[in-house]
A and B are shown apart, each in its own frame.
Chain A
Amino acid sequence: MAKTIAEINEKIKKGQAVVVTAEEIIDIAKKKGISQAANEVDVVTTGTFGPMCSSGAYFNVGHTKPRIKLGGGKVYLNDVPAYTGVAAVDVFLGATALPDDDPKNRIYPGEFRYGGGHVIEELVAGKDVRLVATAYGTDCYPRRKLETLISIKDMNEAVLFNMRNAYQNYNVAVNLSDRIIYTYMGVLKPKLGNANYSTSGQLSPLFNDPYYKTIGIGTKIFLGGGIGYVAWQGTQHNPSVLRGDNGVPRRGAGTLAVIGDLKQMKPEWLVGTSFLGYGCTLTVGIGVPIPVLSEEILRYTLVTDAEIFAPVVDYAEAYPQRKPDILTEISYAELKSGTIKVQGQEVPTASLSSYPGAVEIAGILKEWIKKGEFLLTEPVAPLPGVESGIVFKPLEERPIP
């Protein structure tokens, strides 16, 4: 029996909706069968909690007296530069931004202890940050300098805006070279010393809706411990990759751009993160509800770690040189077992995204919906799917005449 989002919302309001996590639904469907499970269950919740570099926040800090035009000037939040190429008192802070005096990788491997992601975490935690700005001065905005403490409460708007999050599948990173390498996939030991992956597998949002049939623009989600929305497809959204029979991409595919009011988020779900020898970022918690509109949708949510495959890529040579080679494909069940076999060698695995975090997020979202605090939204437009014909383009350089 097909359901609509409006019908599910009616049940949520009455406290009658049946909500389970993407882990729980697997056993429920095994016991009850797909059609009964599809009838009984209204919403399946998903979650992911991992480093997501395309994250940032924009702020309206309010007008000073006399006024200052931050737009076009320079702004630092706790010494981390924010982008000012917008209106007078709006700034954008990216998760990977670093203080000007950070040694970066000059002292290799750099530690990157503090950057934009850490500032965002501190702001969300309610701490004061130092806002230091210089401007060029105009007749209407005469002030040239500003140094002040500011907290998120003092700001008019503090909005998390992440242009590429919740990747649908990702590489498993290994290192075939004979030296240690420092990457955004963590520290990789030489000669296949370890393998790092980063998704929550069977709990991950886009694995449970592989063709974006319910998740679209406007979908209300758990974002950073508060409420957010899918704003658009994420950058590098690439639906047309190799997929398994279950529709699940075998390569990095769809992504989500997400947005939400930073003021109601929580520091435990937006964690400033450092990658040795690589840089800073933000670890972001995202949970997406999937309305069980039909048996088909339910079937997608039954995907297990054993049925999701990720490509193993050499980050010493193939990845940096943009070679298409993959070493093998490995299921998430194998990855989670702690060791995988690559080129005949046993390789210990580790994750960068937190599975316990994903479980917790899917659980929190489930509780919100069950208590009637979180209603589902109808997407206002779909995300581009396989039919969109989107082709993921690398940058082919052209000489400047």
Chain B
Amino acid sequence: MATVSKRLVLHFPKRLTNEPIVYKLVKDFDLEFNILKASVTPGEEGLLVMELAGEQRSYDKGVKYLTETGVKIQSLSQDVVWNESRCTHCGACITLCPTGAFSVEPKTRKVTFDNNKCVVCELCVKACPPRAMELYF
């Protein structure tokens, strides 16, 4: 059986922030998790960035369970957004990004961003001089 490991951003609506959702993922679906970032305030919206791993079938079931309970799932790559209109194409992000999500077009020296490669380390978000990299939850 194939195993998968994916990085997900989970948005919890208000009513779910007191529910033991992650516990269920482990207990009922036999999934492993690794929390990368969390901000869950009881009574408010919650956000959890985590790596979820396990057998494909359990993974699918787990994700189904999440969706059914009302958790909004976003794949991690959508988390950091390049605001192209603010980007000055300076290139300061190029050597900082640990995953090579930015590249320079050699002729025009314009910078492009491939958000599939982004692991949301947030380095560019803070280090981009005109703050063209925006973090979206």
Chain A contacts to B: CB under 8 angstroms: 49-51, 109, 111, 113, 186-187, 189, 193-196, 271-276, 283, 336, 338, 348-357, 359
User: Closest residue of chain A to B128, judged by CB?
Assistant: A274
Q: Is the interface of B mostly helix, strand, loop or mixed?
A: loop
Question: B109, B129, B131: which has the most chain A beta carbons within 10 Å?
Answer: B129
Complex contact A272–B130 (CB within 8 A): yes
Leading 5 A-B pairs by shortest Cβ distance: A194-B95, A355-B109, A356-B89, A273-B129, A348-B95
Contact indicator B123/A187 (Cβ below 8 Å): yes
Q: How large is the interface on B (under 10, 10 to 19, 20 to 34, 35 or more residues)?
A: 20 to 34
Q: Are B104 and A187 in contact (CB under 8 A)?
A: no
Residues of chain B lying within 8 A (CB to CB) of residue A352: 90-92, 129
B94:A283 contact, CB within 8 angstroms: no
Q: Among the listed B86, B91, B127, which residue makes an inter-chain contact with A276, where contact means beta carbons less than 8 Å apart?
A: B127
Q: How far is the CA of A113 from the CA of B130 in the complex (A)?
A: 9
- B75-95 near A? 1/0 per residue, CB < 8 Å: 000000000001011111111
**CB of A186, distance to nearest CB on chain B (Å):** 5
- Contacts from B to A (Cβ < 8 Å): 86, 88-96, 104, 108-110, 123, 126-127, 129-131
Which chain A residue shows the least CB distance to B110?
A: A356
Pairs across A and B, CB under 8 Å, 5 listed = A187-B92, A271-B130, A272-B130, A274-B130, A357-B89
B95 / chain A contacts, CB cutoff of 8 Å: 189, 193-196, 348-350
Q: Provide the bound-state CA to CA distance between A49 and B108, in Å.
A: 15
State the Cβ distance, A239 to closest chain B Cβ, in Å.
Answer: 27
Residues of B near A195 (CB, < 8 A) are 95
B113 nearest CB across to chain A (Å): 14
Complex Cα distance, B88 from A359, in Å, reads 12
Q: Across the interface, which residues of B come within 8 angstroms of A351, CB to CB? A: 90-92
> A273 is contacted by which of B91, B109, B126, B130 (Cβ under 8 Å)?
B130
CB distance from B87 to the nearest CB of A (A): 9
In the complex, how many angstroms separate the beta carbon of B98 from the nearest chain A beta carbon? 10
Say yes or no: B96 contacts A271, CB within 8 Å: no
Residues of B within 8 A of A359 (CB): 108-109
Interface centre among A49, A111, A353, A355, by most B CB within 10 Å?
A355
Residue pair A356, B92 in contact (C-beta under 8 Å): no
Residues A274 and B91 in contact, CB atoms below 8 Å apart: no
Residues of B within 8 A of A283 (CB): 88, 90, 129-130
CB distance from B96 to the nearest CB of A (A): 6
- Nearest chain B CB to A147 CB, angstrom units: 28
B95, closest chain A residue (CB): A194
Beyond A350-B90, A350-B93, 5 extra complex contacts between A and B, CB < 8 Å: A49-B88, A276-B126, A352-B91, A352-B92, A355-B109
Residue of B89, B90, B104 most packed against chain A (CB within 10 A)? B90
**A321 CB → nearest B CB, Å:** 24
Task: Tell me the nearest residue of chain B to A110, going by C-beta.
Answer: B126
